[in-house]
């Protein structure tokens, strides 16, 4: 379980579990999310929410893990652009760590 800061003053945060991060990876929710300018703003957060909403409306979106991610993280009242930026950073670090561990296991 990790915490991401969601505002600049550091008074608000959201807890993110490994299951949440695995769900992000499973659905590739962060793929092609950020525009070419590289900025994470409220529009990017809205884009993510629209993408998830369309997944949930489809038959493939009937996944409890995806619903948990929405309720606990993406649609959390404290989630803002800074929180999404920190979630992306957390996800990339988590993925890198898991890749390193996987590589270490296969090398043995």
Q: Summarize pLDDT for 2-11 with one digit per residue, the tens.
A: 999 999 999 9
The structure tokens listed for 7 are: 């505002």
Note the pTM of the prediction, 2 decimals.
0.89
Candidates 2, 5, 26, 27; CA nearest to 85 is 5
The pLDDT of residue 60: 63
Q: What is the DSSP letter of 71?
A: I
**What's the pLDDT tens digit per position in 53-69?**
999 888 765 789 999 99
């Amino acid at each position: 379980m990790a915490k991401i800061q969601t505002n600049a003053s550091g008074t608000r945060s959201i807890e993110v579990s490994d299951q949440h991060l695995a769900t992000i990876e499973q659905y590739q929710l962060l793929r092609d999310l950020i525009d070419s300018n590289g900025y994470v703003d409220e529009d990017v957060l809205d884009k993510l929410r629209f993408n998830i909403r369309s997944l949930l409306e489809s038959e493939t979106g009937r996944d409890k893990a995806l619903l948990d991610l929405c309720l606990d993280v993406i649609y959390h009242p404290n989630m803002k652009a800074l929180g999404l930026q920190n979630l992306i950073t957390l996800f990339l670090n988590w993925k890198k760590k898991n890749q390193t561990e996987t590589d270490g296991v296969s090398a043995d």
